[in-house]
């Protein structure tokens, strides 16, 4: 079947930078789903975009959907025809309902006998017709954090749509979205080349035509151009750009034709902590900072304009005025903040609401300080470190009420550390004030010091348990308090620093501290938070590149327990390896014979105490002795973290288990005998579940 290119471009007012990549990915997923659902053969979609256009291109799309052949079964042959071969009303009714003659009915042999059937063939529709019908809905379902309407239209999009290109081969796919009719014309740069450009179904030609119109449509090409240009500018002052992937990605989606320029600011602003000018430049102006070869900040910045300036100096001077005003504000706040000690700042937290349902920031500090004390006890933290921990806990949120953090929230923790050092606090106390916010993003650095690590765990746990206690649980993609990130942060700190802390105990410690604010039952809060931690740990272990943990092993281990994370991960690793060994089949078979033959409710109803004096068969005695010996080994091995050896010991139970089931009637008539045998099987099941639920393997 003939195939031709499909080209879709949605042109609009400038779309916010953070909207673009998710929208393009959604477009790709939607078009693949549409093509597959409608049986249209296609190649691999290419997605790209700028602030003013989202583009989807597929080099080869079938011009017709594939036809279908449907087999429709009718009545049994004996019902449809009389013994003399004449059709009955059943046959006539079936033929009529399928709009065929009696002669067109066919006979099919089935396990239940002969049946009538009809083959219904449907020819595929032209792809162009299907796209014309579905593309308005396709555009409507491109997701954005916020959408808007324009004019008198009822349709929505991230920003008002100004044009739509929709081509299958060289033919326009005709449809309307709001007041915009699809066509074949795109537009160049808004200011430098705004004239219409005819689009042909040739992606390279399209790219080149737009490049001549001052639009670099490929975001990867734009990114590389920006990175290369800003590095070259920095080298002119013997400097180096502070590379920031998030900033680079954002700037890439802010411009269609990047034009980097370098300006400078007064050296007096270098007296500020370097994070201050860097944050001001990045968060407020989207500027790149420059350092010397020793990593020291230099008084330069690089901005990326969207237009080739007629006079670069005019643009540079304008940007210098803006950054000067911002840095002057920062210097003012910095000097004023130091006039008030952090202890006094901490007292001000009593009037700062953390959340209307969870009290003030002061009350939050009190709660997570108790959790931090609990962790310190469990880790047997030396007394001097405990004193520093309590001091850091008292001061760690104090910078939230400083002028600097109020104006530049991104500097929380950073300013607290700086102010703490300036007022003479111990260096590790100051560092813990900064580190308790870590990690601030997925894959970000975790605290290096133990004090910062403990505070980070305690603070995050209070937020997580607090939100669950008042019913603010993440749903779908909505996670306003970043509970997923904070949970993953706790998991990473505990696992990477190998802190042997019980997650169960930590959650049980946190729940009562929130009793004053809680609206949900404690049992539901506990189970909800535990399942949330299990979900995050499972996602972390299974999404690692070249993960050594098999998904089934992760699920099987977490199904029975999550507690001491470093130990649980070690167990999951051993389980993943053991599933590849020959002994695994024996282990899995033995477990399945125990749990599959006897229903769970029967095993649960059985007592926990096994009475050897009630054994009637030698196979019972043999299994009991093997179990007792195996249990000693398993407990010894698991205590030492030797999970491979524990699994090998469990596998040794296969033979006595097989012999037991081959020779012993579990469901004996005598109640006492039956319950004793069930108790034996329950004990074996519980021993297996010290490691995993093997049914999941």
Tell me, yes or no, whether 29 and 78 share the same domain.
Answer: no
Question: How many C-beta atoms surround the C-beta of residue 237 within 10 A?
Answer: 14
Tell me, yes or no, whether 112 and 138 share the same domain.
Answer: no
Tell me, yes or no, whether 486 and 402 share the same domain.
Answer: yes
pLDDT at 586 over 80: no
Tell me, yes or no, whether 408 and 391 share the same domain.
Answer: yes
Domain end among 212, 239, 256 = 212
Instruction: For residue 599, give the CATH number of its domain.
Output: 1.10.730.10
Residue 562 is assigned to a structural domain of this protein: no
Tell me, yes or no, whether 199 and 157 share the same domain.
Answer: yes
Residue 130 is assigned to a structural domain of this protein: yes
Tell me, yes or no, whether 42 and 157 share the same domain.
Answer: yes
Residue 567 is assigned to a structural domain of this protein: no
CA distance 225 to 100: 65
Residue 147 is assigned to a structural domain of this protein: yes
Average pLDDT in the chain: 92
Region 168-186: mean pLDDT is: 96
The total domain count for the chain is 5
Distance (Å) of CA 650 to CA 419, 628, 685, 692: 58, 11, 11, 12
Tell me, yes or no, whether 432 and 501 share the same domain.
Answer: yes
Instruction: Provide the pLDDT confidence category of residue 369 given band limits of 50, 70 and 90.
Output: very high
In this prediction, what percent of the chain has a pLDDT beyond 90? 75
CA distance 13 to 596: 62
pLDDT at 209: 96
Residue 144 is assigned to a structural domain of this protein: yes
Q: What is the pLDDT of residues 625-668, one digit of tens each?
A: 999 999 999 999 999 999 999 999 998 888 999 899 889 888 88
pLDDT at 321: 96
Tell me, yes or no, whether 183 and 271 share the same domain.
Answer: no
pLDDT at 613 over 70: yes
Instruction: For residue 351, give the CATH number of its domain.
Output: 1.10.3210
Region 365-378: mean pLDDT is: 98
| Vertex 351: Cα angle to 521 and 423 (nearest 5) | 115
Q: What is the pLDDT of residues 294-342, one digit of tens each?
A: 999 999 999 999 999 889 999 999 999 999 999 999 999 999 999 999 9
| Residue 366: domain span | 343-547
Residue 561 is assigned to a structural domain of this protein: no
pLDDT at 600: 63
Domain end among 212, 229, 245 = 212
Q: Which of 145, 167, 139, 122 is nearest to 12 (CA)?
A: 139
pLDDT at 108: 84
| Contact between residue 162 and residue 12 where contact means Cβ atoms under 8 Å apart | yes
Instruction: Provide the pLDDT confidence category of residue 598 given band limits of 50, 70 and 90.
Output: low
Residue tagged 């104090």 (tokens):
398
Q: Which of 318, 278, 55, 275 is nearest to 163 (CA)?
A: 55
Residue 565 is assigned to a structural domain of this protein: no
pLDDT at 278 over 90: yes
* Phi, psi (deg, nearest 5) at residue 53: -160, 140
- Sign, CA dihedral 678-683-686-687, equals negative
- Between helix 583-597 and helix 654-663 the angle, nearest 10°, is 40
Instruction: For residue 28, give the CATH number of its domain.
Output: 3.30.70
Q: What is the pLDDT of residues 393-411, one digit of tens each?
A: 999 999 999 999 999 999 9
Tell me, yes or no, whether 75 and 61 share the same domain.
Answer: no
Region 72-99: mean pLDDT is: 87
Tell me, yes or no, whether 358 and 313 share the same domain.
Answer: no
Domain end among 270, 302, 337 = 337
Q: Which of 223, 255, 303 is nearest to 50 (CA)?
A: 255
Distance (Å) of CA 466 to CA 112, 163, 357, 491, 610: 61, 48, 9, 18, 43
Q: 651 vs 459, which has greater pLDDT?
A: 459
pLDDT at 599: 65
Q: What is the pLDDT of residues 16-65, one digit of tens each?
A: 999 999 999 999 999 999 999 999 999 999 999 999 999 999 999 999 99
* Burial bucket for residue 481 (CB in 10 Å: 0-12, 13-18, 19+): middle
CA distance 36 to 251: 35
Tell me, yes or no, whether 182 and 114 share the same domain.
Answer: no
Instruction: Provide the pLDDT confidence category of residue 460 given band limits of 50, 70 and 90.
Output: very high
Residue 558 is assigned to a structural domain of this protein: no
Tell me, yes or no, whether 174 and 51 share the same domain.
Answer: yes
Residues contacting 573, CB < 8 A, separation 6+: 548, 549, 643
Question: How many C-beta atoms surround the C-beta of residue 301 within 10 A?
Answer: 24
């Amino acid at each position: 079947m003939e195939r031709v290119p499909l080209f879709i471009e949605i042109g609009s007012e400038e779309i916010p930078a953070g909207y673009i990549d998710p929208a393009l990915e959604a477009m790709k997923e939607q078009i693949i789903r549409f093509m597959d659902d409608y049986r249209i053969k296609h190649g691999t979609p290419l997605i790209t975009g700028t602030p003013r256009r989202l583009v989807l291109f597929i080099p080869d799309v079938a011009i017709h959907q594939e036809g279908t052949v449907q087999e429709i079964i009718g009545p049994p042959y004996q019902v449809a025809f009389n013994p003399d071969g004449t059709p009955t009303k059943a046959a006539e009714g079936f033929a009529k309902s399928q709009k065929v003659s009696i002669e067109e009915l066919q006979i099919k042999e089935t396990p239940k006998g002969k049946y009538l059937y009809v083959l219904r063939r449907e020819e595929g529709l032209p792809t162009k017709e299907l796209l014309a019908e579905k593309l308005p809905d396709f555009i409507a379902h491109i997701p954005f954090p916020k959408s808007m309407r324009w004019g008198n239209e009822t349709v929505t999009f991230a920003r008002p749509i100004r044009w739509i290109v929709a081509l299958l081969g060289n033919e326009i796919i005709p449809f309307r979205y709001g007041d915009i009719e699809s066509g074949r014309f795109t537009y160049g740069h808004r200011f430098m080349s705004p004239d219409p450009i005819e689009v042909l179904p040739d992606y390279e030609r399209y790219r080149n035509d737009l490049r001549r119109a001052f639009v670099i449509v490929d975001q990867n090409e734009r990114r590389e151009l920006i990175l290369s240009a800003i590095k070259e500018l920095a080298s002119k002052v013997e400097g180096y750009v502070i590379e920031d992937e998030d900033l680079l990605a954002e700037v890439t989606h802010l411009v269609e034709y990047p034009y980097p320029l370098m300006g400078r600011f007064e050296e007096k602003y270098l007296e500020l902590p370097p994070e201050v000018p860097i944050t001001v430049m990045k968060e407020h102006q989207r500027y790149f900072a420059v350092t010397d070869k020793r990593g020291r900040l230099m008084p330069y910045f690089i901005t990326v304009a969207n237009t080739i300036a007629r006079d670069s100096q005019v643009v540079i001077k304008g940007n210098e005025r803006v950054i000067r005003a911002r840095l002057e504000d920062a210097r003012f706040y910095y000097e004023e903040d130091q006039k008030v000690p952090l202890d006094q700042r901490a007292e001000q937290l009593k009037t700062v609401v953390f959340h209307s349902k969870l009290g003030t920031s002061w009350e939050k500090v009190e709660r997570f300080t108790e959790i931090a004390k609990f962790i310190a006890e469990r880790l047997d933290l030396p007394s001097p470190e405990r004193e520093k921990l309590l001091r850091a806990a008292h001061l760690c949120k104090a910078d939230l009420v400083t002028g600097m953090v109020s104006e530049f929230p991104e500097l929380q923790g950073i300013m607290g550390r700086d102010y703490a050092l300036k007022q003479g606090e111990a260096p590790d106390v100051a560092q813990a004030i900064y580190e308790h916010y870590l990690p601030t993003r997925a894959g970000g650095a975790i605290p290096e010091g133990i004090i910062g690590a403990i505070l980070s765990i305690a603070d995050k746990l209070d937020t997580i348990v607090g939100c669950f206690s008042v019913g603010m649980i993440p749903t779908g993609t909505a996670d306003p308090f970043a509970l997923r990130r904070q949970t993953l942060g706790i998991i990473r700190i505990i696992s990477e620093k190998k802190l042997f802390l019980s997650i169960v105990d930590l959650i049980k410690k946190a729940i009562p501290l929130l009793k004053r604010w809680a609206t949900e039952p404690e049992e539901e809060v506990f189970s909800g938070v535990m399942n949330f931690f299990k979900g995050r740990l499972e996602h972390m272990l299974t999404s690692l590149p070249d993960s050594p943990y098999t998904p089934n092993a992760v699920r099987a281990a977490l199904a029975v327990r999550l507690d001491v994370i470093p130990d649980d991960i070690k167990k999951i690793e051993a389980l993943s390896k053991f599933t590849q060994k020959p002994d695994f089949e024996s282990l899995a078979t033995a477990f399945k014979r125990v749990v599959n033959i006897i229903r769970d409710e029967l095993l649960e109803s059985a007592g926990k105490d096994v009475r050897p004096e009630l054994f009637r068969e030698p196979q019972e005695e043999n299994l009991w002795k093997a179990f007792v010996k195996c249990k000693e080994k398993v407990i010894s091995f698991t205590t030492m973290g030797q999970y491979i050896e524990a699994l090998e010991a469990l596998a040794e139970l296969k033979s006595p288990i097989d012999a037991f089931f081959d020779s012993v009637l579990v469901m004996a008539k005598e109640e006492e005998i039956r319950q004793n045998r069930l108790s034996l099987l329950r004990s074996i099941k519980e021993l297996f579940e010290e490691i995993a639920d093997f049914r999941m393997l």
